[in-house]
Every structure is written in C-alpha cells, then in structure tokens.
Structure 1
Amino acid sequence: MVPLTINQDLKALEFRKEINIYYVQYYFLGLNREILTFSQKEGATVESLNMELLMKLPIFFPRMPEQEKIVSYLDSRCAEIDQVIAANEKMVAKLKEYRSSLIWEAVTGKTSL
C-alpha cells in the first residue's frame, strides 16, 4: 500500500496494457525525489507536479517479461525488508518499555545503584 493524499490537484496517468502498473509504481517510488525536482511547480508551497513538465520526462519501459521479473524481485526483496523493519520496530518498542521501567525503578528506589 502506498500512502497518498487526494485533493483538487489530482493527476491521473493511464498506461497501455503492455505496461505493468506495479513496475510503474516501483519506478516512481525509486525516482520520486528526481521526479519532484524535475517537475515541481514554481512557487508552490506544497509539493505537486507540473504535468506539462512531467509528460516530458523520458520513461523507458523494458518488455513485459522483464517488467514482471523486476516487479517479482522487488516484491520479494521489499517483503524481506518490511519484515526486518517490523521486527526492529517491535524491538524498539520493547527497548522503550524497558527504558521506562528502568527509569521508574531507579527514581523510585526499587533498584540498587
């Protein structure tokens, strides 16, 4: 799932059927900073895209089998990374809980220093 915000400045991109939309999603996720830098509206207070500039951005698509291979690889690797992140988030939560307990015990005299 990709976080997003919808407002009156909504843009839509439609691709031919020989384009894997998940490949496009990864493409934009991988280049989001560059895309925003290239196509950001002048003087805008909120990041948004100038579609005229965005449409000039060259996007090269490999053939469908290669797109599918890339998507499969990225799905697998990103899932592994997400699992590590989730495990680390659990560890961080436990460490924060331990730190709070440690502080509580120290300031209330429950532990010898």
Structure 2
Amino acid sequence: CVQHLRRFLIAVYRKGLFDIIKKTDYAPMSGVFGSTELSSNRVEGGMFIRFRSWQSESLGEVIFSGAIEDPSGNSFGIHTITTEQHGVDALVQEVVSYWPEDPVAQMSMFRISANTRKLN
C-alpha cells in the first residue's frame, strides 16, 4: 500500500491538492473522481485524506494521515485500510487518473463540502 500512497503524493497531492487544501485553511473538502470519493479533513495536529467508492461499499476505504503543514506529503502514512490490495489500487488509481493538471479544474472538482463527514 505504500506504493499507492507514493503514487498519490506524486501525481495528486504535490500537483495541486495540497495547495487547494491550504488555501481553504484545511476546511473539510471532497470531490468525486470516477466512482471514488476523495475527501480531506483536519484533525488535531494533522490531516486525513480518505478514498472510498461511492458506488460500492464492498471496496471499503483507505485513509492516509499526515502533518498538516507538509507540502511534500513525506509525513503521510497509512491510517486505515478496510479493503483488499486490489481495492486500494482501484481507489487510488481512479483518483490519480481523473486528477486534472489545470488548477482551475482541480478546484472545481475538489471543493469545500458541508457533506464531508469527520474522519476521526
């Protein structure tokens, strides 16, 4: 699962996601990428980033956690996994493949969300 976290950090987190989250003062945010919902939430001293399928609960979820002021994501690690290895791959890969390069498109896909549940 560490390779999936690394892929996400390189392709999404460092390519716009961290900047979006920081601009909103770490408010709860979410977006749908294919059939995967990506959400972020601030917790005491850190942040959770959750991947889950909104179409199939059988895929479970993956939650990464890390330091709040970490633009590289190097502090992030695995917090929770409730899926098999193929589920982790499917959830992360879907977000990576749908993440746009354009910052305006990124902000339209990943926004502050009143519907984002606390991830603690």
Shorter-chain TM-score above 0.5? no
| Structure showing the higher strand proportion among its residues | 2
Provide the TM-score with structure 2 as the length reference: 0.28
| Structure showing the higher helix proportion among its residues | 1
